[in-house]
Amino acid sequence: MSKQENTLQFGDVAIQILSNSDELTVAELAIPAGAVASIHQHPHEEVNYVVSGVLDFMCDGEVTTLRAGEAMRVPPNQPHNITCHPDAPGVVLTAWSPSRQDLIAKLAK
């Protein structure tokens, strides 16, 4: 599949699926400067690693600012979102367990 075929758009955030199995989905999130990902939750454990940019991660009402080289875990079923600082776009490597079959199904449409 091409990069375009592996990419989903959620508002301003592009999610490129890099790898997927029954137990794990790995994706790259491209977040424009100043963009805010909507608050959401899902039954998957999530780990986010900031590749570039400065981003505020809100998890269950608490905000943590992360820079390139830093990571954080989001427990299952916790409301969370990401806000990219306005100075530069951000890139985040995200892993979900178990796999995000909901996202994979959207790629098939």
- Which one-letter amino acid corresponds to residue 46? E
Distance CA 47, CA 44 (A): 10
- Which one-letter amino acid corresponds to residue 94? T
- Please name every residue paired with 20 in a beta bridge, in sequence order, or none if there are none: 25
Q: Which band of pLDDT confidence, cut at 50, 70 and 90, is reported for residue 5?
A: confident
The predicted structure's pLDDT at residue 2: 55
The predicted structure's pLDDT at residue 3: 64
Average pLDDT estimate for 14-36: 97
The predicted structure's pLDDT at residue 108: 82
Other beta carbons within 10 Å of 11: 11
Residues 6+ positions from 78 with CB-CB distance below 8 Å = 41, 59, 60
Using alpha carbons, select from 45, 50, 43 the residue that is nearest to residue 82: 50
The predicted structure's pLDDT at residue 1: 47
Q: Which band of pLDDT confidence, cut at 50, 70 and 90, is reported for residue 33?
A: very high
pLDDT digits (tens, 9 = 90+) for 59-106: 989 999 999 999 999 999 999 999 999 999 999 999 999 999 999 998
Q: Is the peptide bond before 32 cis (omega within 30 degrees of 0)?
A: no
pTM of the model: 0.92
The predicted structure's pLDDT at residue 101: 93
